[in-house]
Structure 1
Amino acid sequence: MGQKRHKPEEIVAKLREVDVLVSQGRSVAEAVRSIGVTQFTYYRWRKERAIVRHRSEDNGKCGLKTDQVKRLKDLEKENERLRKAVSDLTLEKLILREAAFGKLLSPARRRRCIDHTRQKFQVSERFACRVLGQHRSTQRKVPRGRADEAALTADIIALATQYGRYGYRRITALLREAGWTVNARRVERIWRREGLKVPRKQPRKGRLWLNDGSCIRLRPERPNHVWSCDFVESRTHDGRKLRVLNVIDEFTRECLAIRIDRKLNSTAVIDVLTDLFILRAVPGHVRSDNGPEFIAKAVRDWIDAVGAKTAFIEPASPCENGYCESFNSKLRDELLNGEIFYSLAEARVVIQAWRVHYNTARPHSSLGYRPPAPEAIRWPSKRNGSPPQLAQALAPRPIMH
């Protein structure tokens, strides 16, 4: 058997794992053995990543991380494809090949294809209709459906979500039992229009039950004892989604990091936690919900490898992650609901400025209306003792029932 070829994101994750282990006091040789490669391979990876980082700095950007390495390769392939398309095809041929490949038999399909073409290539409606053979009046005419079409579609989607292995015929029988007078052909038409399909292969899912990760059962006792992670979603002015990853220290209530991007996955979670582990040491537990970004095997194995423990809350129980949910509500109420972000860069600047204000200036009611930053409040080393100079500044610990 040949040697395993590591993906770029796996290489960067292993390099960052070695950085964390070295920062904890281990030697480079021990840290390299823990990731399962030779020292020659490790230093070769470091050299290649240094070349990529140097090229990025020449362009005025910071060093690349895991998702950025993968994105760079994707952009190189995309640029090569676009250069070939621009040199060989005219705009009309490009539209016919990308947006109207094959036959578009129905006006509805042509209408969706023209909308996709206008959004992707930034062309006018007149030009797109002329290329794809759609009359402009047909394009502008809004189809009239039945009055109960929306309600029936919602019920079909709800039943398909609940019974994932049922086809449209069985869904039709359930609808009739629920009181709908509908035949299988109409259900099939809605079924195909909404893209519903019974998958051939059903993936197996592992459930994380009774992990004792509730903030009631696992209480923070000192700084860096329990950290919480959670996602918040918002949108920019153009309607595009914006994801925000928050990491807080439950004992000090400090917001340790906020990561803002269009898409955030398990790789982004590893990147954010890596920087925090190096700067602030490894915490005892990392609490989160059962989202796919947190329960991914790569994230759980990586957290265990650096010496921390995962604390997953019960499914559909956000109250068990109360500290982070409270922070998310403050972020949404005080910033996200009152700001219009015109770009991703503006959102990053404004949200990071709010994080600094939250840590250093905003009064926190559970801390005696003091800010949660460590330079503002220094916590006692003993659990039940408090120095005389901080006895009046700190409010009593809240009792959660």
Structure 2
Amino acid sequence: MKKKRFTEEQIIGILREQEAGAKAADLARKYAVSETTLYNWKAKFGGMDVSEAKRLKGLEEENARLKKLLADQMLESAALRELLFKKMVGPAAKREAVAHLWAVMSLSERRACNIVAVDRKTVRYVSKRPADTALRARLRDLANERRRFGYRRLFVLLRQEGERAGKNRIYRLYREEGLTVRKRRARRRAVGARAPIPVEARPNARWSLDFVHDQFACGRRFRILNIVDDVTRECLAAIPDTSISGQRVARELSALIKRRGIPGMIISDNGTEFTSNAVLSWTSENRIEWRYIAPGKPMQNGFCESFNGRMRDELLNETLFFGLDHARAKIGAWTHDYNHRRPHSALGYATPAAFAANLTATGDRLRNPDQLRRSPVATFAPSGVSTARTQLAAG
């Protein structure tokens, strides 16, 4: 930054001389400045004292600093938008991201490294590994001869030929050469029941399972495992995570059974998580009937699909999730509100929790003849709204 010849205090002193009667030409000759400069000083500092000039200077410096911060923030936001669809996992991917910012946005290496959150030494690192040209060539030849062999069998063949490289090194070269064997495994589909399934009017008579997908503010996708009681319409569990396997589904169902009891039946689609060996083993061990809907017929799992639509419309489309913990908190609060406060039209505008309590109390009275003389429970429907009969048979 260019250093000024005169400070604000000196300029105010010169203007004071002019106000005392000195001519502008004499002052310009005395201080070696032009008369235009004197008039500019007068327009900017006229009528000010030293304290006001210092405050003005401080405001100008603060304004310049804020402008610089805003420019830096806008530049960083633009750089992050450039990297929004790039998967920055590992040093190599981060080097590519820094190179992309340098080439596209002309950012310096220091600024690009700060945005990508990578050390400059990592970006400048040059691998010193040997090229392994002969080993790569022999590995390609063996892979072409044995097209269905994976890296483990190729490693055994190389060891038989006297190669001393370890398995991890062979696997790295195998991946870098693009020799991965494409699997020929057909997707397993369970046969769904096409006839309507009668359900007893009681809690835990039948549960429905399905997944809902959404994404965080950063663009990373996550999924939610929803478990619904088809009779009471309660959301028994809504479990968000970035990945939910069949083993995770079995663990969550076991934990739910400890809290609520064993269901009479479970309905789901033909997703790979629900048709996995972990789920099939779990149903066999717990002796629970698990039925699959027909492929391409989501209406056969209509209760859970309806709940998914409500969650999509009332929560997912209205909320911006910033992370997994934030999503768990928001989804947990919404499901509690859905069960205990939100009126359900299919239940005569009662909440699912109140309907389940009423259904349980009614079943207890039917099992106990001494309580039949008590007055029945009043309807849950608001005044002026007709109570609809709950559909307990679904297909």
After superposition, the Cα gap between the structure-2 partners of 1:99 and 1:345, relative to the gap in structure 1 and judged at 3 Å, is closer
Any runs of at least 4 consecutive aligned residues in structure 1 with deviations exceeding 4 A, and if so which?
98-101, 110-121, 126-133, 196-201
Q: Which runs of 5+ in 1 are unaligned?
A: 1-97, 102-109, 134-195
TM-score (normalised: structure 2): 0.50
1:40-86, Cα deviation, whole Å (9 max, x unpaired) = xxxxxxxxxxxxxxxxxxxxxxxxxxxxxxxxxxxxxxxxxxxxxxx
1:236-263, Cα deviation, whole Å (9 max, x unpaired) = 1111112111111100101111111121
Distance in 2 between residues matched to 1:232 and 1:366, nearest whole Å: 22
Secondary structure (helix, strand or coil) at the match of 1:338 reads coil
Q: Give the corresponding residue for 1:397.
A: 390
Alignment of 1:34-45 (within 5 A): none
Larger radius of gyration: 2
Q: Give the corresponding residue for 1:217.
A: 196
Secondary structure (helix, strand or coil) at the match of 1:246 reads strand
Distance in 2 between residues matched to 1:329 and 1:347, nearest whole Å: 18
2:358 maps to 1:377: yes
1:128-182, Cα deviation, whole Å (9 max, x unpaired) = 876679xxxxxxxxxxxxxxxxxxxxxxxxxxxxxxxxxxxxxxxxxxxxxxxxx
TM-score (normalised: structure 1): 0.50
- Root-mean-square deviation (CA, aligned residues, Å) is 3.8
Alignment of 1:328-339 (within 5 A): 328-339=308-319
Q: Give the corresponding residue for 1:315.
A: 295
Identity %: 36
Aligned partner letter, 1:377: N
Alignment of 1:190-209 (within 5 A): 200-209=182-191
1:266-313, Cα deviation, whole Å (9 max, x unpaired) = 121112101111111111111111111111011111122112111111
After superposition, the Cα gap between the structure-2 partners of 1:111 and 1:295, relative to the gap in structure 1 and judged at 3 Å, is same
After superposition, the Cα gap between the structure-2 partners of 1:131 and 1:325, relative to the gap in structure 1 and judged at 3 Å, is same
After superposition, the Cα gap between the structure-2 partners of 1:200 and 1:359, relative to the gap in structure 1 and judged at 3 Å, is closer
Contact 1:282–1:307 (CA<8 Å) still a contact in 2?
A: no
Distance in 2 between residues matched to 1:127 and 1:319, nearest whole Å: 56
Alignment of 1:2-401 (within 5 A): 99-100=91-92, 114=99, 122-123=117-118, 200-209=182-191, 211-212=192-193, 217-222=196-201, 223-374=203-354, 376-379=357-360, 380-381=362-363, 389-390=376-377, 392-393=379-380, 395-398=388-391
1:13-45, Cα deviation, whole Å (9 max, x unpaired) = xxxxxxxxxxxxxxxxxxxxxxxxxxxxxxxxx
Distance in 1 between residues matched to 2:180 and 2:125, nearest whole Å: 35
Distance in 2 between residues matched to 1:366 and 1:388, nearest whole Å: 24
Distance in 2 between residues matched to 1:111 and 1:198, nearest whole Å: 24
Cα drift, residue 201 of structure 1: 4.5
Q: Which runs of 5+ in 2 are unaligned?
A: 1-89, 102-111, 128-177, 381-386
Give the count of matched residue pairs: 230
Contact 1:99–1:113 (CA<8 Å) still a contact in 2?
A: no
Contact 1:100–1:132 (CA<8 Å) still a contact in 2?
A: no
